Structure 1
Amino acid sequence: MQDQENKDVSSTPEDDTVQVTAATSVDEGVNSLEQQLSATEAKLAEMHDAFMRAKAEAENIRRRAQEDVSKAHKFAIEGFAEAMVPVRDSLEMALKVEAPTVESLKEGVEMTLKQLSAAFERNRLVEIMPAVGEKLDPMKHQAVAVVPAEQEANTVVNVLQKGYMIADRLLRPAIVTAAQAK
């Protein structure tokens, strides 16, 4: 039986080759896994760097957008203010005239009104002046009285005060009287 055990314990050259080949195969597998791990770690570091850069860029964009909104609020009326400065200059010049005549005052007021109208137009401030007989539009007109009239009911009879819109937004409705239903 001892011979049998010796036989089992002793190795043959073929067994040694198998063991060396297995050990080499294990070493190659470990080396391959280590290389994959290194490559994966490098890719992870690269991705982390790209993520941090993207995060910083997003934060910069958010901050710039916030600054732009703040500036837009702060300087929203800059264009309108620039258009109004010449109107004020004209009014101040009219007050400096020592001996104005009625004609010169009228001419100055007309010129100032033209400047003001041009400023309104440049800044999309549109006048609402409904015509007599026009259908009452509650989105643009405010009827303060209903009067008997020889026209269709709920139409404009008289305009008491012009209204104004900025672009498509109502600033002030036109104050009107409307025709009473018959």
Structure 2
Amino acid sequence: MQNIDPTASARADGPNSGLSDAEAAVNADIEALSQQLAQAESAVADMRDVLLRERAELENQRRRLQRDLEQARRFANERLLSDLLPVCDSLERGLAIETADSAALREGMDLTLKTLNKVVEANGLKAVDPVGQPFNPELHQAMSMIDSPDHASGTVVSTMQKGYVLNERLLRPALVAVAK
């Protein structure tokens, strides 16, 4: 006797034949996901490596910059001091001369002062000597008030000590006497 029931053949193959197709699909999905996971882990490892290298490079740049700034601070006055050496040489030569001639001494001091003024002006230092100018509290410090018929009220009559401006910034105010 022959079975003509179409569902009978499916039952004859057994319930495992349908599961094996599902298992194969699941195994294929697992394999694909495992490959994707391995690729993602590889990408993360590469990114971690790049990140560590970038951090190391930034740290090296920070150290170089810090070292360069320290060098700049240590040798910032190098140019100024090398410009002042001729002034020191002139003063030493003047002190080495043992003549009592005050005119020669005065002339040597005058030349040394001119050399010094050249050096400080070349390095951005300017003297503030405001005689005859209106009093400016940003540049001058009034030490006294004087009755002066020759000057208008609020005008600087005399300077007791010059002031100095370094690159447009007040270094020391001029000490002045102002007309009442």
Matched, 1:112 2:124: no
Alpha-carbon distance in 2 for matches of 1:58, 1:124: 36
* AA aligned opposite 1:95: L
| 2:11 aligned partner | 10
Structure 1, 54-63 or 94-103: larger mean CA deviation:
94-103
Alpha-carbon distance in 1 for matches of 2:126, 2:97: 32
* AA aligned opposite 2:148: A
Aligned residue pairs total 172
Matched, 1:64 2:51: no
* AA aligned opposite 2:25: S
Seq. identity, %: 36
Shift of residue 44 of structure 1?
0.8
* AA aligned opposite 2:11: S
TM-score by length of 1: 0.81
In the TM superposition, 1:1-182 aligns within 5 A as: 10-12=11-13, 16=17, 18-99=18-99, 101-132=101-132, 134-150=133-149, 151-180=151-180
Alpha-carbon distance in 2 for matches of 1:176, 1:8: 121
Q: Which runs of 5+ in 1 are unaligned?
A: 1-6
Task: Please state whether the residue corresponding to 1:144 is helix, strand or coil.
Answer: strand
Shift of residue 10 of structure 1?
2.9
Alpha-carbon distance in 2 for matches of 1:137, 1:57: 52
Alpha-carbon distance in 2 for matches of 1:139, 1:160: 17
Alpha-carbon distance in 1 for matches of 2:9, 2:179: 122
TM-score by length of 2: 0.82
* Coordinate RMSD, CA, aligned: 2.6
Q: Which runs of 5+ in 2 are unaligned?
A: 1-7
